[in-house]
Amino acid sequence: MKTAEGCEQGAERRRVTYSLFSANLCRRLAVAVRGVRADEAVPSCQPATRRLQVAGTGHLLAAVLCLLLLSSAQAVTFSASLDRNAIRVGEQAVLTLRFDGGQPSGVPRLPDVPNLQIQYAGQSQQISINNGQRTAGLLLNYLVTPAAAGDYTIPAFQVPIVGGLLPSQPLALKVHPATAKLPDTEAYRQFTFVKLRAGKTNAFVGEPFTLEVRLYFNAAGEIQMPSLRGDGFTLAPFQHQQGQEQVGNAIYRVIVFRTVATPVKAGKLALGPAQCAFNLHLRVGGTEVFDLFNRGVRAQAVTILSEPLVIDVQPLPTEGRPADFNGAIGRFGMSASVAPTDVAVGAPVTVRVQISGRGGMDGLQMPPLNLGEAFKSYPPSATTDMPDPLAMAGTKKFEQVVQPQSADVRELPAFSFSFFDPDARAYRTLRQPATPLRVRAAAASAAPTVVMTTTNAATAAAATELVHIKPHLGMVVAADASVLRQPAWWAVTGGPFALWLALLARRKQAEKLANNPRLRRRREVEKLVNAGLAELRQQAAAAQAEPFFANLFRLLQEQLGERLDLPASAITEEVLDERLKGIGASAELCASLHALFQACNAARYAPVRETSELAKLAEQFANAVAELRKLEVAE
Amino acid sequence: MNGSIMRSVVATFRLRVSHTQPKGCDYGKPALALLAVLLFSCSRLMAEAASTDFEAANKLFEQGKFADAAAAYERLLTNGPTAALHFNLGNARFKSGQPGRAIFHFHRALALAPRDPDARGNLQFARRSLGVTVDEPLARHLLRHHSPAEWAWLAGAGLGAWFVLLALGEALPAKRAAFAWLTKTAGVMVVISAALLAAAHWDRNSARQAVVIVPEAPVRPGPLPESKAAFSLRDGAEVVVLDAKDDWLQVRDTGHRAGWVKQDALWQLP
């Protein structure tokens, strides 16, 4: 058994296995009886894939004795089984003796089979809770090892219980040579197998029934959808779900693939075998606990087959078949409604039909309405509400829009839905009576324009009638109404952007000035000199020689001080030769500046000058300033 | 359309005035004012005339003359579309037994008025009457809750508000920290609205849709009349246009079947 302490909970059956409990009890009893250490008494029960061979009748006796303590008054049942019926020489099969409702009163004596060694391998106990009822089972495991190839039969044998003996059934085991190639189904039966089950084995043509492919395995991956041979059947896509299930004394992982098979012809039809392909994970080294990366696991690609089924398919009876029968098989109920029933000619009327029940829901069709020329009809639409993933039960809703073509129409005709009930083996017909209608002429004044402008999204989503026309034309939309062509959009977006850019540039400039005193001084001097030059020209025009020269001298000092990075008060004529040539001033510029300085000095002694002379000096100063500003100075 | 017409009229008028007026005289401003009054009066008259025609078409509809009403609505479309015009035209087409054209016009009405429940309801109704249900993904439903122009206005207004906050931060550096959270939030909103605008644009332009407007449109594996029809599309079937060649369109229907259809069997949604 793979997980002796495992616990499985299923919808139908709950089982709890307590082998550890029994093993511990056995160990204690063995210590008491034989006087050996507890660790040596009885090995713990191990998973089936790692069974320990426990030889010796002493241990077996101790186990049987301890289990006697757990005996109950229930009737004891006994069964013997092999985990597989075909192996190769060198492999081992597992023989399991199962006792339910009690224990053997003594050690079972297994028959001797030539060339077949049967060795006790341990025991475990299972406690199953089925619908609240607790049952206990004892499992005794034996390893069966063949010495030669051949067909073997383990004959029936009897096991002692309190008050008598219980017989077993003969068990067949086919042993192939060690080099023989067994079909995957046989070779890996110990680890995996597949079962095919049908919901019913007697069906009618066209009657859908469920089909299950149950794949059992211990460890596997890359599992593909099963393939299934089913000539004479149509098969729906597989749905699958995963779980665990106990088979014999082992717990398997199981994937249940479900589908719906529908026979399309009569007769005894073979269904299957189901074929499953996947990678079986076989442990070839290491232990599960320490092998985190599964390095000791080998992936073996296997393809296994199930046993096939035979389905007896009968044709649908022709007797009593309704004229409107269109192939629906199952058990159904029908409800229908018609709305609106007061309409104008040409206005839509919606017929809703709801069919609920169990059977082939996919094949259900809208019952024919037989409207004739009095109505114009549109194709029906259908929606399904099926909690069953296999679509074998649920509700199918149909809607069909019809338009009365004249005011003479008085009713929507009656209609019916027929189906075949396979349980009752008879046809059934559900009828919907005629629905009265009031149809008005289209031009009648009694049909005012209904303007439904207050409907909301919810009613729109569930709209069942055409909303009437709108009375107002509304705003005409320009054909080239692209937003990018609208100045307002650009104003909304670009205006703030331009404003932000301007303010950002202003801040950056202020920061630049704040971090550069020379630049700031240059800007200030530029303003000062520009203003001073204008003043000079006015003073020249007014022949104000004294303030003219004072102003000119001050401006020369300010401009040269800024260029030479010296205080304005430190600028004299001597500085020109020392510093100005060092920053690349031309000889003409230096001479011009010398002349201006000398004119200023001379004016102190002979201040009276003519207007033209002052104007000429002002222009000379302006030219000199222009040349000075061209000089490259470090900032 | 009216705006562009008026702009072109004004430009032409200014050109004429500048060529005809004597030197020294400026007739421009009074002439423009007169023209504005004339154009305004004309536009009012045109609007009133369109409204009168619209009501006449509605009367035809009420009288059950659906084909005549549809023709009248179609004539009005030449003046420029409105959501109500497409909506009423869709109704007239549906009642005339032309569900494909009806679905086309309901789509056009929804493009102009994306939150109009009436247009949405009638579109669903027309689809259901054909036995078709179209499940619109939630994301597409949200994106189409606004027209591309509305998304653009939303993103543009968000962008403008964000720049205003940035400009305020520049103008009032002392208080910039106080509303920095608002600026950041607005920036995030701008990014989100821009992403939504891009998604809406992609949604509208990634797959061109079309509606079958003939009773039965054969779909062929190749764009040739000799190609054998693989299946056919019914009137009102909505398809996605994948490719075009000459007067053939490659389409894919809701069942993911693809093939070539003659162009005149479909109306493509803009």
- Asked if B171 lies within 8 A of A447 by C-beta distance, the reply is no
B64, B81, B149 ranked by CB distance to A345: nearest? B64
Taking a contact as any Cβ pair under 8 Å apart, which residues of chain B between 214 and 243 contact chain A? 234
Tell me if A480 is assigned to some domain.
no
Helices (H), B208-259: none
Answer yes or no: do A161 and A201 share one domain: no
Mutant choice from A377, A397, A485, A493 vs B, greatest count of B C-beta within 10 A: A493
DSSP B263: G
**Is residue A376 within 8 angstroms of chain B, CB to CB?**
yes
10-residue averages of pLDDT along chain A (635 residues): 34 34 39 38 36 43 49 67 79 82 84 89 70 74 88 90 84 86 72 86 89 86 84 86 79 88 89 86 67 71 85 89 87 89 81 89 84 80 78 85 84 90 89 88 42 39 70 75 81 93 91 85 91 92 88 92 88 81 84 89 75 89 91 74
Domain C-terminal end among A385, A413, A440: A440
Do A167 and A281 fall within a single domain? no
Residue A67 lies in a domain: yes
User: What is the domain count for chain A?
Assistant: 4
Residue A468 lies in a domain: no
Identify whether residues A310 and A354 lie together within a single domain: no
What local confidence, expressed as pLDDT, does residue A39 receive? 39
Residue A11, chain B, CB below 8 Å: the answer is no
Picking from A314, A346, A363, the residue at the C-terminal end of a domain is A314
Regarding whether A435 and A364 lie in a shared domain, the answer is yes
Does residue A278 sit in the same domain as residue A164? no
Q: What is the pLDDT of residue A277?
A: 87
Residue in A399, A469, A475 closest to B82 by CB: A475
| A276 & A423 share domain | no
Decide if pLDDT at B47 tops 70.
no
Whether B250 contacts chain A with CB within 8 A:
no
**CA quadruple A389, A391, A394, A400: dihedral, nearest 10:** 130
Which of A455, A464, A473, A486 to mutate to test binding with chain B, by most B CBs within 10 Å of its CB? A473
Give the model's pLDDT for residue B200: 86
Domain B2-134 has CATH 1.25.40.10: yes
- The CATH number for A242's domain is 2.60.40.740
- B105 in A contact zone (CB under 8 Å): no
Interface of B with A in 116-135 (CB under 8 A): 117-118, 120-122, 124-126, 128-133
pLDDT at A141: 82
Whether residue A36 sits in one domain with residue A166: yes
Which residue in chain A is spatially nearest to B122 when comparing CA positions? A466
Q: So what's the pLDDT on residue A481?
A: 63
Kindly state whether residues A234 and A149 are assigned to the same domain: no
Residue A490: inside a domain, yes or no? no
User: How confident is the model at residue A162, as a pLDDT?
Assistant: 80
Can you tell me the distance from the alpha carbon of A484 to that of A498, in angstroms, rounded to the nearest whole number?
17
| 3-class secondary-structure state, position B53 | helix
**Domain shared by A217 and A261, yes or no:** yes
- A340 preceded by cis ω (within 30°)? yes
Q: Å from A231 to nearest chain B CA?
A: 28
A432: left (phi over 0), alpha (psi -120 to 50) or beta: beta
- Please choose, from the candidates A236, A418, A204, the residue with its C-alpha nearest in 3D space to the C-alpha of residue A311: A204
What pLDDT is attached to residue A512? 86
Interface residue of A352, A459, A476 to substitute, partner B, most B CBs within 10 Å: A476
A-B interface: how many C-beta pairs under 8 angstroms?
172
Which of A618-627, B198-207, B212-221 is the least confident region?
B198-207
Is A243 domain-assigned? Answer: yes
Distance between terminal CA atoms of chain A? 91
What is the C-alpha separation between A624 and A556, in angstroms, rounded? 9
Residues A302 and A367 in one domain: no
Asked if the Cβ–Cβ distance from B50 to A473 is below 8 Å, we say yes
| Domain range B208-268, CATH architecture | Roll (2.30)
Cβ–Cβ below 8 Å for B99 and A378: yes
**Residue A159's domain is classified under what CATH number?**
2.60.40.10
Question: Chain A window 310-349: which residues touch B at a Cβ cutoff of 8 Å?
Answer: 344-348
Amino acid (one-letter) located at A128: S
Instruction: State which residues form the domain around A424.
Output: 335-440
Backbone angles phi, psi at A283, to 5 degrees: -85, 120
Minimal-distance CA residue of chain B relative to A472: B84
**Which pLDDT value is given to residue B101?**
94
Place of tokens 């006449």: B56
Q: Is A301 found in the same domain as A369?
A: no
A453 near B CB under 8 A: yes
Report the C-alpha gap between B201 and B193 in whole angstroms.
Answer: 12
Both A379 and A306 in one domain: the answer is no
* Contact criterion met (CB below 8 Å) for A261 and A269: no
- Taking residues B85-114, report their average pLDDT: 92
A1 located within any domain:
no
According to the model, what pLDDT value does residue A620 have?
A: 92
| Per-residue pLDDT at B176 exceeds 80 | yes
| CATH number for position A420 | 2.60.40
What whole-number percentage of chain B has pLDDT above 70?
85
Closest-CA distance, A327 to chain B, in angstroms, reads 21
Decide which of B226 and A387 is more confident. B226
Chain B residues closer than 8 Å to A339 by CB: none
Query: Binning pLDDT at 50, 70 and 90, where does residue B93 land?
Result: very high
Is the Cβ of A468 closer than 8 Å to some Cβ of chain B? Answer: yes
Say if residues B126 and B102 touch (Cβ distance below 8 Å): yes
Which residue, among A100, A33, A104, has the nearest Cα to A67 in the 3D structure? Answer: A104
**Least CA distance to B172: which residue of chain A?**
A503
Best interface-test mutation with A: which of B118, B133, B159 has the largest number of A CBs within 10 A? Answer: B118
CA separation for the pair A159, A305 (Å, rounded): 35
A515 contacts A534 by C-beta, under 8 angstroms: no
Q: Give the model's pLDDT for residue A18.
A: 35
Q: Where are the domains of chain B?
A: 2-134, 143-206, 208-268
Q: Which residues of B touch A471 (CB under 8 A)?
A: 55, 58
Nearest by CB to residue B64, choosing from A443, A455, A475, is A443
CA distance B212 to B207: 16
Domain boundary among A416, A440, A464: A440
Residue B79 pLDDT: 84
Nearest of B78, B80, B74, B75 to residue B104 by alpha carbon: B74
Strands (E), A483-601: none
pLDDT in the model for residue A519: 86
Contact B87 A348 (CB under 8 A): no
> Could you tell me which residues come within 8 angstroms of residue A110 by beta carbon, excluding any fewer than 6 positions away?
A95, A118, A142, A154, A157
